[in-house]
Amino acid sequence: MCIFGYIRVSTLQQANEGESLETQLRQIQSYAVLKGYEIKPENFITEKGVSGSLEFERRPEGAKLFEQLSSGDVLIFSKLDRAFRNTRNALNTLHELKLRGVSVHFIDLGGDVTNDGIGSVIFTILSAFATFERERIATRIREVKQVQKTEGKFLGGFTRFGFSVEGEKLVPNPDQQAIIKEMRVMRRRGMSLRRISKWLGKFHGVVMSHSTVSTFV
């Protein structure tokens, strides 16, 4: 019989909002003492920078632990949302671990959800709510980004040639826009994409493949 504690944070924000690795570690240690469990230092499994959207058994450390767990083992999480991607993943994983004889404990749900009937019901209900909340947040993020995009705000990533970032917005770069106009004139006069690419490098110091040139002309 082995006792394991699983700890995960995906972002710095979570650490700042009370879900740090240290916070989860203390919660699990206190719970283990209350239950009379002793967790060896090497049996605290830590995932850093791993999103909850990734299924438990596909996470780097989660996958190793999932394969290792066997009859009589106990697995402790501080909170439900540290463990599973969605309700289906939660129920499937829990079912598999129950078949192996592994006890799964969630501190925020009051303890063992594999051997207690009421705990199992609560686990199922809250798993569904956790999935709903994650999907609601994802939808909200997409909506906000769409609004920002409509307003012309720069959302990060690659800045297309011909534009510059000023403040939070993408604005036309006059010098680069002038170069694009020259490229289009050259193309209309029959110049090949490769020649235009070489011209950009020779006269403007711009490295651009002929395939990229084709997107402008």
Residues serving a catalytic function are: 10
**CA angle, corner 168, sides to 163 and 169, nearest 5?**
35
Residue with tokens 């106990």: 74
Q: Could you give the dihedral angle defined by the CA atoms of residues 123, 127, 128 and 131, in that order, rounded to the nearest 10 degrees? A: 170
49's CB contacts (< 8 A; 6+ apart) are 9, 10, 11
Q: Taking each helix axis from N to C terminus, what angle separates 117-150 and 87-100, rounded to the nearest 10 degrees? A: 150
- Give the closest residue to 74 by CA, choosing from 48, 111, 122, 46: 111
- Give the closest residue to 173 by CA, choosing from 147, 192, 154, 198: 154
The torsion angles phi and psi of 20, rounded to 5 degrees, stand at: -65, 165
